[in-house]
Structures are given as C-alpha cells and as structure tokens.
C-alpha cells in the first residue's frame, strides 16, 4: 500500500478508524477487501484537507485550566498562606519545573513511577518535579547552604489516576515551608506545627486536628533512644486514649512511666515538643494516630497531617471528603543524599494542601451562591451620545495615569444602557459620564452604580473626586 506513506499524520488516525469498521458484505470477513482499503485512504486524504482540527480540543488528562473565577479564590488563599510564611521570617525561592532525572530517583519509593519524564531530545534526561522538598534539598547541597528558612509556592506534577471529584489533579500547586539547619531540639518542629494551625485557623475552614504518626514516635523511642518496647507501648496507650492535650502530665502520674528512668529519657523529645506547643497555645490541636503512615521515603522522624474535623454541612451542601489539608515532618537525611561527602543538613517542614482547600472554598461559595468579581475595575467611562470616543479615551487615560482601575467599551458608539449594564454585571462601582451637556459645561458626571445617584464635578477635579470616593469606600 504505497499510498499510506503519503498520508499526513492526522489522516492516518482517521484511516485506522475506518479500517476498524465491520467488513463489507462481499468479503469473507477475515480479510478486508482492497476496494475498502482504497476507499478509506481516499476519504482520509479528503478529510485531512477539509476539516480544520480533527483532534479533540482539550487539556491533557488530569489537568485543567484555571478560569478567572478559580484564580480569584486562589489568589486570596495563597496570599493568606504566603503572608503567614513571611510572618515566620521565611524567604521565597523557586527551582526549575524539571530536574535531572537522577536528582529525583530513589527519593519517592514506590511512587517513582508516577513521575513525568521528559522525552530524550538529546542532552540530559529530565523529569518534572514531583514535590518541592527534593528540589529544596538539592538546592541546599548544591549551594552548600547549612541553614535556611524558606517558603516555596509552585506547581508539581504526578501521573496519578486523577479522582477529579475530590479536587485531585495531575498538575497541582504546593505551598511549602521548611527550616533547614542544626538547631536545639523540637523548636523548629514546634514552629512548623504552629504555622499549620495559624494557616488553618486563618482560612476559617472549621475545626481541624493535627495528627502525628504514633508509629514513627515509637520507632524513634525504641530504636534511637533504646526504650524497652513494652514501655513505649505503655506510652502509646496514653497518647491514643488521651490525645496530646495534657499528655505529659498524665504520663508523669503513671508510676509505671514516671518511675522508669529509661521511659523518662525516651519521653524527652515528646515532652519538649508538647511544652513548646503549649507555650504556642496549640497543644489541644495535636493528637496521635495509630494508622498514619509515612507517605514518602525521605521522612526520618515524626510525620504529621492536618485534617478538617467536620465541614459544617448546610442544607444542600454536598458532603466533602477532602482527607488531609496539610502535612509535614522531619527529613534529616535527604540533603546528605546529594552531598558528595554525605554531609547532613537536618530539615523539618510542612506542605499546605492548597488544592483541596481551593476545592472546599469553591464548593462552599457555590452552595451559598456567592459570586466573586473577577476584575478589580473601579471606574467605567461612559457616554450617552454618539461620537464621544475621543473624549472617553482622554478621560480613561487620565484615570489610568492616576493609578485608577478603569474600563470602557471598545466601540465607537455604544448604547448607554449597554454600558451601564456592563457595570452592573461586572460589579464596577462608579461610572464617569461625558456627553454634549457635560462637555459644554466643562463638567463630568459621576454616577454610583449601586444608588444610581449622579453628581456633576468640574472636569479638572474629577480624578481627585474619584480618588476621594474610592478611599472612603
């Protein structure tokens, strides 16, 4: 079939589809007749030239565009998260979207298969970043940074089967805060937990709890501090039954623990941590969880996860199954994996699950029928008459040059009603109106969209008047 070689790539797909049709009546069924193939080839060639795009217009599987509505919600939430990170003295930084494949391998355990690799187009083998933690560790090792408190907001990519209904996508945003460096025990760890609490309280998502993985704590005590397993399990009974609140006090009232020197030593870090959390006023937000397990290979100590306790289900609101909305932990070994001499830089950090938070907030707004403005325009420049484009352009340039957010319609002669309707539908609060009357009198009319009140202001004072009104509102 020499014809096939001439087909453009798109026509090929179309041809294949046609070849997969049931065989024609005159054929035996097992082999396709020549006439059918020839017909398919011709149809495909025609199609390739007639149709415009014969592929589906879509975003890649598991990804989506963020509309202006999405962006407004995101901007608000990210502003709150970032301002909390800055409140705790963190510096911003960014890393490339992709890393050398070798940088990422052997860091994520069984999840490594979910990495997006780039095609080998000559040169280095690359993969899209899978989280922001491994690039941070690579940055510290590469620049021999021994101490750093940084935040990083950026996209990461994972080839997971997307369950979009829960707000999980293959491309998503992460917001990380990490403290790298050798410090006195549990002080940075406590700050990470404090940050989680500040952000989750600030976002007003309802009640939440931070669950620490008991298995990891037990492992630390038994393997690293040499506590007898049965004593560790006795502590375990406590932390599960009583949560974190008055943990330390209660354990010290138990003679089996308080009279055991080894137990007291094993409890050291936990005691310290809860002491700091109490000073921060957040000890009641922390509890232990038997079932919580490490998600990623690089964690070396306690991991923690924040979960929303319940969502205030109002009438008509769908139940939200959002899982954890923040997570973090200690990873003291990761930087050393990049250092040629294996020099370690202890790290502790947290990641806010902003995508899930975006989803929750969007769902709530939908339920409540809340609308958001997707622009910030303050003033609209209108005219009731024809042939006023020039005057409108002069006015709007004055507004822009004074830093005022202003819009007008891109029409020579728009109808006044169309212009006013635009303001109402997009939420623009003020209109300035110029027409023959105003031009003759040397004034500009300022109209409040909400009250429909209009006042005439001298042309030379109109910007100042608008600035006054905007500062008052």
Which is nearer to a second copy, 87 or 368 (by Cβ)?
A: 87
Q: How far is the CB of 102 from a second copy (least distance, A)?
A: 5
Strand, coil or helix: what is 253?
Answer: helix
Strand, coil or helix: what is 207?
Answer: coil
C-alpha pair distances (Å), 430 with each of 72, 305, 445:
21, 46, 10
Binds a second copy (CB under 8 A): choice among 37, 72, 264, 439: 72
- What is the x/- site pattern for a second copy, positions 414-453, by CB under 8 A? ----------------------------------------
Contact 204, 77 (CB under 8 A): no
Using CB under 8 A, which of the segments 46-54, 211-219, 284-292, 436-444 binds a second copy? 46-54
Q: Tokens for 243?
A: 């949560």
Q: How far apart are CA 435 and CA 317, in angstroms?
A: 49
Q: How far apart are CA 32 and CA 25, in angstroms?
A: 11
Binds a second copy (CB under 8 A): choice among 138, 158, 168, 356: 138
Which is nearer to a second copy, 293 or 393 (by Cβ)?
A: 393
Written as one string, the DSSP assignment of 304-353 is EEEEES-----TTPPPP---EEEEEEE-SSHHHHHSTT-----EEEEEE-
Where on the phi/psi map is residue 123: left (φ > 0), alpha (ψ -120 to 50), or beta?
Answer: left
> How big is the CA angle at 115 (ends 109 and 119), to the nearest 5 degrees?
135
Alpha carbon 250 to chain centroid, angstroms = 40
- Report if residue 359 touches a second copy, rule: CB under 8 A: no
What's the start-to-end Cα distance of the chain, in Å?
75
Segment 316 to 345, residues that bind a second copy, using CB under 8 A = 336-342
- Report if residue 410 touches a second copy, rule: CB under 8 A: yes
Binds a second copy (CB under 8 A): choice among 43, 246, 377, 448: 377
Q: Tokens for 282?
A: 């957040």
Q: How far apart are CA 456 and CA 454, in angstroms?
A: 7
Q: How far is the CB of 227 from a second copy (least distance, A)?
A: 23
Binds a second copy (CB under 8 A): choice among 47, 64, 225, 364: 64
Q: What kind and span of H or E run contains 303?
A: strand 303-308
Binds a second copy (CB under 8 A): choice among 27, 39, 42, 124: 124
- Report if residue 268 touches a second copy, rule: CB under 8 A: no
Binds a second copy (CB under 8 A): choice among 21, 146, 386, 411: 411
Strand, coil or helix: what is 272?
Answer: helix
Which is nearer to a second copy, 7 or 93 (by Cβ)?
A: 93
- What is the x/- site pattern for a second copy, positions 272-301, by CB under 8 A? ---xx--xxx--------------------
Q: How far apart are CA 174 and CA 5, in angstroms?
A: 47
Segment 141 to 160, residues that bind a second copy, using CB under 8 A = 141-143, 150, 155, 157, 159
Which is nearer to a second copy, 98 or 238 (by Cβ)?
A: 98
Segment 3 to 32, residues that bind a second copy, using CB under 8 A = none
- Report if residue 87 touches a second copy, rule: CB under 8 A: yes
Q: How far is the CB of 469 from a second copy (least distance, A)?
A: 17
Instruction: Tell how strand 379-382 and strand 406-407 pair up.
Output: parallel
- Report if residue 374 touches a second copy, rule: CB under 8 A: yes
Q: How far is the CB of 166 from a second copy (least distance, A)?
A: 19
Binds a second copy (CB under 8 A): choice among 16, 187, 223, 450: 187
Binds a second copy (CB under 8 A): choice among 63, 240, 258, 313: 63
| Residue 411 DSSP symbol | -
Contact 408, 430 (CB under 8 A): no
- What is the x/- site pattern for a second copy, positions 199-238, by CB under 8 A? ----------------------------------------
Q: Is the dihedral of CA 350, 355, 356, 362 positive or negative?
A: positive
Q: Tokens for 110?
A: 């069984």
Binds a second copy (CB under 8 A): choice among 2, 22, 29, 123: 123
Binds a second copy (CB under 8 A): choice among 394, 415, 421, 458: 394
Binds a second copy (CB under 8 A): choice among 49, 58, 261, 452: 58
- Report if residue 177 touches a second copy, rule: CB under 8 A: no
Contact 380, 428 (CB under 8 A): yes
* Count of chain residues binding a second copy (CB under 8 A): 97
Contact 289, 310 (CB under 8 A): no
């Amino acid at each position: 079939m020499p014809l096939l070689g001439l087909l453009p790539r798109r026509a090929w797909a179309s041809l294949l589809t046609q070849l997969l049709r049931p065989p024609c009546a005159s054929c035996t069924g097992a082999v396709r007749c020549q006439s059918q193939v020839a017909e398919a080839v011709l149809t495909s060639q025609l199609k390739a030239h007639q149709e415009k795009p014969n592929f589906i217009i879509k975003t890649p599987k598991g990804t989506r565009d963020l509309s202006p509505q999405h962006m407004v919600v995101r901007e608000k939430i990210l502003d709150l998260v970032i301002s909390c990170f800055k409140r705790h003295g963190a510096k911003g930084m960014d890393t490339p979207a992709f890393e050398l494949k070798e940088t990422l391998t052997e860091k994520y355990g069984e999840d490594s298969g979910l990495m997006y690799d780039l095609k080998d187009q000559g040169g280095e083998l690359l993969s899209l970043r899978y989280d922001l933690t491994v690039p941070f560790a690579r940055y510290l090792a590469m620049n021999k940074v021994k101490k750093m408190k940084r935040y990083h907001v950026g996209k990461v990519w994972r080839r997971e089967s997307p369950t979009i209904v829960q707000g999980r996508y293959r491309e998503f945003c992460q917001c990380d805060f990490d403290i790298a460096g050798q410090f006195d025990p549990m002080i940075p760890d406590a700050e990470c937990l404090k940050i989680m609490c500040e952000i989750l309280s600030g976002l007003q998502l309802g009640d939440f709890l931070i669950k620490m993985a008991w298995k990891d704590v037990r492992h630390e005590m038994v393997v690293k501090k040499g506590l007898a397993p049965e004593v560790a399990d006795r502590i375990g009974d406590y932390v599960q039954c009583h949560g974190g609140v008055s943990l330390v006090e209660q354990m010290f009232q138990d003679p089996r623990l308080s009279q055991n020197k080894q137990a007291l030593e094993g409890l050291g870090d936990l005691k310290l941590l809860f002491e700091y959390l109490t000073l921060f006023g957040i000890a009641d937000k922390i509890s232990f969880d038997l079932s919580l397990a490490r998600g990623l290979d690089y964690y070396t100590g306690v991991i923690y996860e924040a979960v929303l306790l319940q969502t205030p289900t109002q009438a008509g609101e769908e139940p939200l199954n959002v899982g954890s909305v923040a997570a973090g932990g200690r990873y003291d070994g990761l930087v050393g994996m990049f250092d040629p001499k294996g020099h370690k830089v202890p790290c502790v950090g947290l990641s806010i699950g902003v995508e899930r938070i975006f989803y929750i907030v969007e769902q709530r707004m939908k339920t409540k029928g809340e609308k958001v403005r997707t622009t910030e325009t303050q003033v609209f420049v209108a005219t009731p008459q024809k042939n006023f484009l020039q005057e409108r352009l002069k006015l709007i340039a004055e507004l822009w040059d004074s830093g005022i957010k202003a819009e007008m319609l891109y029409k020579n002669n728009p109808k006044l009603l169309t212009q006013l309707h635009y303001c109402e539908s997009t939420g623009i609060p003020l209109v300035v109106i110029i027409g023959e009357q105003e031009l003759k009198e040397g004034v500009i009319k300022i109209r409040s969209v909400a009250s429909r009140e209009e006042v005439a202001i001298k042309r030379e004072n109109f910007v100042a008047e608008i600035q006054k009104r905007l500062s008052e509102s």
